[in-house]
Amino acid sequence: MTKHEAKPAARALDPEAVEAFRAEMRGEVLDSASEAYDETRVIWNAMIDRRPTLIARCVNAADVSASVRFARAQGLTIAMRSGGHNVAGYAVCEGGLMIDMSLMDGVRVSPALDRAWVEGGATWAAVDRATTPFGRATPGGLISATGVAGLTLSGGIGWLRGTHGLACDNLVAADLIDAEGRLIHASETENADLLWALRGGGGNFGVVVNFEFRLHAIAPEVFFCAPIYAEERAAEILPLWRDFMTTAPDELSGLAEFSTIPADPAYPEEIWGRRVVALAHVYDGPAEEGERVTAPLRAFGPMLTDFSGAMPYATIQTLYDGIFPKGRDRCYWKSTYLRGLDDQVIADILGHLSRRPSEMTFASVWKFGGAVQRVAPDATAFGDRSMPFMFSLDAIWQGADGDEANIGWVRSAWSAMQAHSTGRMYLNFPGLGEGDTLVRDAFGAATYARLQQVKRRYDPHNVFRMNQNIVPVG
Ligand SMILES: Cc1cc2nc3c(=O)[nH]c(=O)nc-3n(C[C@H](O)[C@H](O)[C@H](O)COP(=O)(O)OP(=O)(O)OC[C@H]3O[C@@H](n4cnc5c(N)ncnc54)[C@H](O)[C@@H]3O)c2cc1C
């Protein structure tokens, strides 16, 4: 529970129905007395402390179908959990049934067909481990522990976006269990409306049990560019970065990332506690070419340190994992797409960052372009792709006494930044999902209306509503 939530009255379940459900499941059904219950209900954001009545640990599509049918028959809220990284905490419900997909993490690869088939509860670590030994990759995010499902279904922004687009742009087909417990296949030729909706429309249409992704060749080592500059020089560095990125090749994807260096032996001790801006990028091509292309980013005056180097893509995918451990910190993350990054926008960003209450906080300016913008806006439910930059405010702190200051800071900075926004936001960084029109505004009226029609077809009673919710028409 967060302090904003009221606890619903616990409802008694029919013991015979529960027994029959347990007997039908091949995976385990946990209740609050089960040893694994607490460990399984914990998700990434420590602010979220909810207690499902039951947790179904599914191991196959039949388990997922049984879970959906059981929850509906018993009138239970359904939450779906894959990587558990959703910062708004949609993966776990108070009362209700949590469908835990995390045991379904198999990945099958065909380098010959350039395809990977990924089970619905896998993390990006499982995908990268299975594809990169064959010189292949598909765009994920920046952290290997993030779930494929949540990230892909609402877009998926990672290091390969300039060359290959968003994660959802590489989704070729999917199998899901719908609100009636049926197994439905979605591809360009079968239920194409559903595939369109799954490419950005979130976990609204059912529980995905299998994703099929397009794979791309990746060099054995690529170049990770990560010079770290002092934040007090950001007013000088950000315009240089913006101008450089405007003409940079599609192979280069990255972001300008603000943070405070922790007291951690992984960093030089003399910079512990310093506020910094890291220009973090990956060049999707031969490492030596990447080093040459990114050289100007490492020559914007004195650096505090530099984490750049040639390394395998799968290694880069794990570099940040240790910074973001599960269940330790309280978090409130919110994003907005920027129309541009002129000097006034930069000044406003830096003004807000100077007032951040927590030194654990991250904030980033993500560059877009390349393959993301070559996909037609109506080709996927991700909708608008016109934004050249995204600003994300990732407040992180410890202790409930910091909630008000940190959430208040993000909300106030976010509201002020609306003056520079396209009016859209990235739904994987949605605050706590609050705001009556948040989802509608993020998609825009036309895409939202089309999503409502698809929702009506596959989930007319809004059974799947622990998500960035699309309300079905009618
Ligand atoms: C540390 C961290 C780093 C991140 N980095 C990035 C990044 O680099 N790029 C980026 O784009 N995003 C990033 N995100 C945001 C991330 O994409 C979202 O939080 C996403 O929701 C996480 O997916 P998940 O499967 O782990 O989520 P979960 O919390 O497990 O699930 C979230 C929601 O996804 C849906 N869902 C989950 N599983 C299924 C399924 N099998 N079928 C249908 N729907 C399902 C449900 O609606 C569920 O409520 C990051 C988040 C964190 C915490």
Query: What are the domain boundaries of the chain?
Result: 15-100, 107-218+444-458, 222-420
Which candidate, 399, 391, 411, 402, places its Cα nearest to that of 339? 391
Q: Kindly give the pairing relationship between strand 54-57 and strand 29-30.
A: antiparallel
What average pLDDT score do residues 35-57 get? 97
pLDDT confidence of residue 7: 57
Q: Where are the beta strands (DSSP E) in 132-251?
A: 136-137, 171-177, 183-186, 207-214, 216-217, 222-225, 227-230
pLDDT digits (tens, 9 = 90+) for 95-138: 999 999 999 999 999 999 999 999 999 999 999 999 999 999 99
Could you identify the atom of ligand 1 that is nearest to the CA of residue 204? Answer: 47
Distance from the alpha carbon of residue 270 to the mean position of ligand 1, in angstroms? 35
Mean pLDDT over each residue of the chain, to the nearest integer? 96
pLDDT confidence of residue 11: 65
Could you identify the atom of ligand 1 that is nearest to the CA of residue 151? Answer: 17
- Can you list the alpha helix ranges (DSSP code H) found in 165-298? 192-198, 234-246, 287-294
Residues touching ligand 1 (Cβ under 6 Å) are: 43-44, 80-87, 90-91, 101, 120, 141-143, 146-147, 149-151, 153, 155-158, 202-203, 207-208, 324, 428, 466-467
Q: H/E element holding 31? A: none
Question: To test the ligand 1 pocket, which listed residue (151, 175, 427, 469) has its Cβ within 8 A of the most ligand atoms?
Answer: 151
**How far apart are alpha carbons 178 and 464 in whole angstroms?**
9
Question: To test the ligand 1 pocket, which listed residue (55, 78, 85, 458) has its Cβ within 8 A of the most ligand atoms?
Answer: 85
**How far apart are alpha carbons 226 and 257 in whole angstroms?**
10
Does the structure show a pLDDT above 90 at 342? yes
CATH number of 222-420: 3.40.462.20
**How far apart are alpha carbons 45 and 451 in whole angstroms?**
28
pLDDT confidence of residue 4: 47
pLDDT confidence of residue 433: 87
Distance from the alpha carbon of residue 158 to the mean position of ligand 1, in angstroms? 13
Distance of CA 183 to the CA centre of its chain: 25
Distance from the alpha carbon of residue 42 to the mean position of ligand 1, in angstroms? 14
Four-way CATH pick for 15-100: 3.30.43.10, 3.60.20.30, 3.40.50.970, 2.60.40.10: 3.30.43.10
Question: To test the ligand 1 pocket, which listed residue (64, 86, 195) has its Cβ within 8 A of the most ligand atoms?
Answer: 86
In the chain, what is the straight-line distance between the N-terminal and C-terminal CA atoms, in Å? 31
Does the structure show a pLDDT above 70 at 282? yes
Residue minimizing CA distance to atom 17 of ligand 1:
151
pLDDT confidence of residue 401: 98
Residue minimizing CA distance to atom 51 of ligand 1:
85
Question: To test the ligand 1 pocket, which listed residue (55, 57, 64, 80) has its Cβ within 8 A of the most ligand atoms?
Answer: 80
Distance of CA 137 to the CA centre of its chain: 18
pLDDT confidence of residue 368: 97
pLDDT digits (tens, 9 = 90+) for 239-256: 999 999 999 999 999 999
Question: To test the ligand 1 pocket, which listed residue (97, 101, 320, 428) has its Cβ within 8 A of the most ligand atoms?
Answer: 428
Does the structure show a pLDDT above 50 at 235? yes
Could you identify the atom of ligand 1 that is nearest to the CA of residue 87? Answer: 19
Token output for 70? 């059981």
Distance from the alpha carbon of residue 382 to the mean position of ligand 1, in angstroms? 15
Could you identify the atom of ligand 1 that is nearest to the CA of residue 142? Answer: 8
Could you identify the atom of ligand 1 that is nearest to the CA of residue 145? Answer: 26
Percent of the chain whose pLDDT exceeds 90? 95
pLDDT confidence of residue 8: 55
What average pLDDT score do residues 8-28 get? 88
pLDDT confidence of residue 3: 45
pLDDT digits (tens, 9 = 90+) for 385-440: 999 999 999 999 999 999 999 999 999 999 999 999 999 999 999 999 888 799 99
Token output for 469? 């919710």
Could you identify the atom of ligand 1 that is nearest to the CA of residue 157? Answer: 11
Note the CATH architecture for domain 107-218+444-458.
2-Layer Sandwich (3.30)
pLDDT confidence of residue 473: 86
